[in-house]
Amino acid sequence: MSNYKKQEIMKVLSKVLWAIDFDQDHTTSIEKIRNVAKQFGSEIILLHILPGELNKSSFREVVNKSIEAELEAVREKLLLTGEYSIRTRIEFGNVVDRILDVSEEEDVNIIFINRGKEEAGKKVALGLNAQKIFRNAHKPVALVSEAPPAEKGHIVCPVDTSEPSARALNSAILHAKKTNSRLTVISVFEPIRISSSRLINAGVDEKSENKVHFNEFTKSFKEFIEGFDFTGLDFQTELIWGTPHLEIIRYSQEATILYMGSTGKTGLRRAILGSVTERVTGEVECNVVVLKSVEVFKLRISTDLEDIEKHFLRAYKLAELGFLEEAISQYKVCLQVNDLHLPSLYALSRVYENLGDRQQAEYYQEMAEIVRQRMTDWKIEEEIRGHYLKSG
């Protein structure tokens, strides 16, 4: 893979904010966040928050220098490999407020926070500050587990057909494509329980009611899934009966990372997200990414007119990741550089076919055939001309 391809095509994250404390060993977190930066092309901001009262204390400079040294030590470990930048920030004030403020000021893609490390076989409960960040952050939040990273990537994404679920699934798909991970999309149907003797005496049958509602649930799930591009992925979908948070936690036991939306629907198709998210994040041991109204990944595409190979490679990777409209733009830039670029013409036909635009697909297929025939004719003419020149 060319150096260009690593630096330009792969960049779908702009900034990652890691809100770090120094009460635990971050060896595993460093490895995980370094891998994120390498795979997605990130700028990492290391943020540590000190109590507001220290800002005017006589110990301010001493504490500040100590924290700067610790941040620099983490920075050096993160920079062992990879082509990304790292900055450090020290802020004073309320931990939650300052983390959220900095995430908006820096316009980061995602906030990383740590769960903590198990002690004597006991699970570490999610801290109050972490819970508040999950509840109040506008940006996506990732909970980084100190458990060793799984050898083979497995991404699990529970959905309930809501918009936040769609954002979570889009991010999970792109993550899976970028890392060649397996993807499992689940949706949990929580059956109704009829305990009222009045309803039972009135002839309401729990089994029949649940069958009707599950059929509606299944139809809605299938329609939802059809809106996503799983091309090239090792993926599966599963519909599960049960208690939402318990089923999600069960599936997460085999996951490297869990992607979830932060709100859900109500009614007979019970919300698997929203309040369930807090129960899940408080108990799962894997990494978790929670999204609300903002996507995790944002494309960073150069608008400079570069050589045709760079634009073509960029377009190919964009199409591979499912960014079809963006890929079309890059293929058309190739045609601006060389309107007879046959690979771009054929590629445009394929991309438009995938978009369901048959008219454009046929147009570029026809253009490609015309160019191919023209190039064949030119080659024949060149051979004939060469033959006669030799004969003369």
- Rounded alpha-carbon distances, angstroms, from residue 121 to 118, 143, 256, 283: 6, 20, 20, 14
Predicted confidence at residue 333, as pLDDT, reads 85
Predicted confidence at residue 199, as pLDDT, reads 55
pLDDT tens-place values along the chain, 392 residues long: 333 343 444 466 778 999 998 877 788 888 888 888 877 877 899 999 999 888 888 888 898 899 999 999 999 888 876 668 899 999 999 999 999 999 999 999 999 998 765 555 555 567 788 888 988 888 999 998 877 655 578 999 999 888 889 999 999 998 998 888 999 999 999 887 766 565 555 556 778 878 898 999 999 999 999 988 888 889 999 999 999 999 999 988 889 999 998 764 443 334 444 578 888 888 888 899 998 878 887 665 554 555 788 888 888 888 888 888 888 988 888 888 888 888 999 999 999 998 889 999 998 998 888 888 887 766 666 665 555 555 55
Predicted confidence at residue 349, as pLDDT, reads 93
Q: Torsion angle, CA of 350/353/355/358, rounded to 10 degrees? A: 140
Domains of the chain: 10-143 (3.40.50.620), 150-300 (3.40.50.620), 308-391 (1.25.40.10)
Predicted confidence at residue 123, as pLDDT, reads 58
For residue 61 the two structure tokens come to 């400079």
Classify residue 230 by burial, with Cβ atoms within 10 Å: 0-12, 13-18, 19+.
middle
Predicted confidence at residue 122, as pLDDT, reads 56
Predicted confidence at residue 340, as pLDDT, reads 83
pTM above 0.75, yes or no: no
**Phi, psi torsion values for 123, nearest 5 degrees:** -70, 140
Q: Are 217 and 224 in contact (CB under 8 A)?
A: no
Predicted confidence at residue 53, as pLDDT, reads 87
Among 210, 172, 204, 208, CA closest to 191: 210
Non-local (6+) Cβ contacts of 268 within 8 A are 192, 213
Predicted confidence at residue 219, as pLDDT, reads 95
Is the dihedral angle over the CA atoms 164, 132, 277, 156 positive or is it negative? positive
